[in-house]
Structure 1
Amino acid sequence: MLTVTYDRFGEPADVLRTAAVDSPTPGAGEVLLRMLLSPIHHHDLWTIRGTYGVRPALPSGAGSEGVAVVGALGEGVEGLAVGDRVAASAIPGAWAELVTARASSLIPLPAELPDESAAQLVAMPFSAVSLLEHLDLAPGEVLVQNAATGAVGRLVAQFARIRGIRVISLVRRGSGVEELAAQGIGDVIATDREDWQEQARSLIGEAHVAAGLDSVGGEASAQVLSLLGDGGRLVVFGAMGGSTMALPSGPIIFRNLRVEGFWGSRVSQEMSPEVRRRLLGEILSGLLSGDVSLPVAGIFPLEEVAAAVSATLTAGRGGKVLLRP
């Protein structure tokens, strides 16, 4: 079978290779999955670079999520059958033709959910609804976020709308406003305009901005912080634009602003099964109703993983890049 692997940390285009390896065999409590589609997430690329919160032992398979069909059952597996279509997440080596996974971690899928959406079902949507759950904002409250054209940013805006929370989204370029408008997402401000703060404050009006989400870092962190109301919270869950945050101390001190981190993997591990089921139900409901969409920017074969990574890193792409075995 074919798999995407790497034996040293570095830029994905430099270290990834597609190789033929022996097919895996499911152990007790596991299933063998025949992968259909798998997304390229930024945390996958950070892992390959060796800069994520977890560094795998090398050599390692790449990828972490996808939609698959059950190909074989390991000993003791119940509730699944060969041929079932499932969503799989947090599985090392997902960019492959075949992988094994714990049966208990798989999510059976409704027939009406397309493969392109099912492939992205967990990591980004779950991060978005987990962030909203963590913020615990009431209907009518206001949230500001940056990186709004990213997968999590788009999903935060959509799930927040369902929850009755208003989101002001910041993007780095004017074309991002149009991209989000095409997906039905409004209240978007491009920070490449000199008057972006005036535009943002005009949208906010007399409302109190209770929280901000930052997944960029650098100077962009201060942009979100500047729009928070007194006592507001800046929640940091990424650093796409820089590993150092440039934050002014004055507003944090005198306006009682709080800065806190959010790591989706840890939050997911500590979450109760009841909350997990409720949030997964919220995700499926949003997708099946059409209130939430998961656009795809392109689909590449495993053999073209370098081109797929390049497409992922291209500014202005309209959705996730997927790999098809």
Structure 2
Amino acid sequence: MSKMTIPSTYRALSLGIHITDLKEAVSQLQVVEKSTPKLQSKQVLIKMEGAACNPSDLLTLTGSYGVKKALPMVPGWVGVGTVVATGKSPLTKWLKGKRVVCGTQAANEDGTWAEYFVTDYMMCLPVSNKIETAQAANLMLNPLTAIGLIDIAVKTKAKAIVQNAAMGQVGKLVTYFAAKKGIEVIQVVRKEAQVAQLKAEGNQYVLNSSDENFEKDLRKLSSDLNATVGLDAVGGTLAGAMLNLLPAKARWVVYGDLSGEAVSGFDPMELLYQDKTIEGFHLKNWLDQQSMLRIMRKMSMVKKLLEKGTISMQFGQEATIEDATDALRLYVEDMSNAKLLLKFN
């Protein structure tokens, strides 16, 4: 690439205060001018192309996410862009000029919701121009989360799984990767229109949690299919109620908190006498347990699937840094379907 002038300052979305109410928290975001930092040895400077907005980003705005950043801070966990400068370490040099998917889970780093982003070179992976901005921006998060969740089902030799938030992006990716492993999926949604949509997409087992026969149907179906793993992105009382209905030795895996409510409603006797368990899944922890070779293989597989269009993530809105706050307000009103993409070029 031709030599690019690195600006002394750049624009970013900044949050100065945490507010529990999500809509109010979004309103606190401001566009600020930041000084371009001097890079440490193993850091790279990325000119951002796009960044995804995920539920984990919104939890960061309210101060509810597991990784606590000092305020003021720039939100955003993942994105895509081009490396325009590197630190002195030879390990970083090969990334110069490359388009990369990138991210951070560090408490002391600004995030990806900015025109430029600094991170460790190990948090970057080159990506082809064949993958459009929206898909590349979220490549490091949703697909790997789905793979990690299915990894649990495979290791426990589950014949079937049940998942709520089945209409979400992770939910649909879970369905794809489960099918590749020969694992049946019981989909749980909240509206009859969602039942119809999922069945039209080829899903055989779809239940409406609002239906009066839901508990009876889930108990029978999970028993018939031996669904011993539950995947929960919602939380609340429904999570516990669903665990009560699963077969003995079932594992309930919590990976999200869309309801904003504590997981509850489970029967202690089910845990004591049916050997059921509740556990959490966080992508960073799962990645830390994998070898670098395995992670690279999984990422390579995901890139190929995205290039071919075999899998995809739905983005319903795009916003510039100037209109991000208004777009985020609309996004928080309905996070069950398409995501929000922030674009910087």
Could you tell me which amino acid in structure 1 is paired with residue 289 of structure 2?
Answer: E
In 1, Cα distance between the equivalents of 2:158 and 2:15?
A: 47
Gaps of at least 5 residues in structure 1 are: none
Q: Which residue of 2 aligns with 1:28?
A: 41
Q: Which residue of 1 aligns with 2:103?
A: 89
The CA deviation at 1:218 is: 1.4
Distance verdict in 2 for CA 1:322–1:95, change over 3 Å: same
SS of equivalent to 1:62: coil
Gaps of at least 5 residues in structure 2 are: 1-9
Residue in structure 2 matching 1:3, options 12, 31, 42: 12
Could you tell me which amino acid in structure 1 is paired with residue 50 of structure 2?
Answer: L
SS of equivalent to 1:224: helix
Could you tell me which amino acid in structure 1 is paired with residue 265 of structure 2?
Answer: A
SS of equivalent to 2:69: coil
Structure 2 length normalisation: TM-score? 0.86
Show CA shifts across 1:233-289 (max 9, x none).
Answer: 111222222124221123222322122222222222333212212322332243234
The CA deviation at 1:198 is: 4.2
In 1, Cα distance between the equivalents of 2:243 and 2:178?
A: 20
Contact 1:143 1:209 in 2 (8 A): yes
Could you tell me which amino acid in structure 1 is paired with residue 290 of structure 2?
Answer: M
Could you tell me which amino acid in structure 1 is paired with residue 66 of structure 2?
Answer: G
Residue in structure 2 matching 1:300, options 319, 326, 344: 319
Could you tell me which amino acid in structure 2 is paired with residue 173 of structure 1?
Answer: K
Structure 1 length normalisation: TM-score? 0.91
Q: Which residue of 2 aligns with 1:268?
A: 287
The CA deviation at 1:148 is: 1.4
Could you tell me which amino acid in structure 2 is paired with residue 307 of structure 1?
Answer: D
Asked whether 1:150 is paired with 2:150, we answer no
Q: Which residue of 2 aligns with 1:321?
A: 340
Q: Which residue of 2 aligns with 1:128?
A: 146
Q: Which residue of 1 aligns with 2:5?
A: none
Contact 1:65 1:123 in 2 (8 A): yes
Q: Which residue of 2 aligns with 1:214?
A: 232
In 2, Cα distance between the equivalents of 1:263 and 1:21?
A: 31
In 1, Cα distance between the equivalents of 2:271 and 2:30?
A: 46
Asked whether 1:116 is paired with 2:125, we answer no
The CA deviation at 1:69 is: 1.4
**Cα RMSD, aligned residues only:** 2.3
SS of equivalent to 1:222: helix
Give the stretch that moved more between structures: 243-252 or 290-299.
243-252
In 2, Cα distance between the equivalents of 1:320 and 1:186?
A: 25
Distance verdict in 2 for CA 1:203–1:87, change over 3 Å: same
Distance verdict in 2 for CA 1:34–1:127, change over 3 Å: same
Instruction: Give every structure 1 segment of 4 or more consecutive aligned residues whose post-TM-superposition deviation is greater than 4 Å.
Output: 137-140, 181-186, 201-205
In 2, Cα distance between the equivalents of 1:189 and 1:89?
A: 35
The CA deviation at 1:105 is: 1.7
SS of equivalent to 1:157: helix
- What is the percent sequence identity of the aligned residues? 27
Q: Which residue of 2 aligns with 1:15?
A: 28
Give the stretch that moved more between structures: 14-23 or 116-125.
14-23
Matches within 5 A, 1:51-130: 51-76=64-89, 77-82=92-97, 84-90=98-104, 92-130=110-148
Show CA shifts across 1:48-72 (max 9, x none).
Answer: 2111112111111111110101222
Give the stretch that moved more between structures: 264-273 or 156-165.
264-273
The CA deviation at 1:118 is: 0.4
Residue in structure 1 matching 2:299, options 264, 280, 298: 280
Distance verdict in 2 for CA 1:121–1:16, change over 3 Å: same
Contact 2:234 2:256 in 1 (8 A): yes
Q: Which residue of 2 aligns with 1:232?
A: 250
SS of equivalent to 1:107: strand
In 2, Cα distance between the equivalents of 1:63 and 1:182?
A: 34
In 2, Cα distance between the equivalents of 1:19 and 1:178?
A: 45
In 2, Cα distance between the equivalents of 1:183 and 1:122?
A: 25
Give the stretch that moved more between structures: 4-13 or 265-274.
265-274
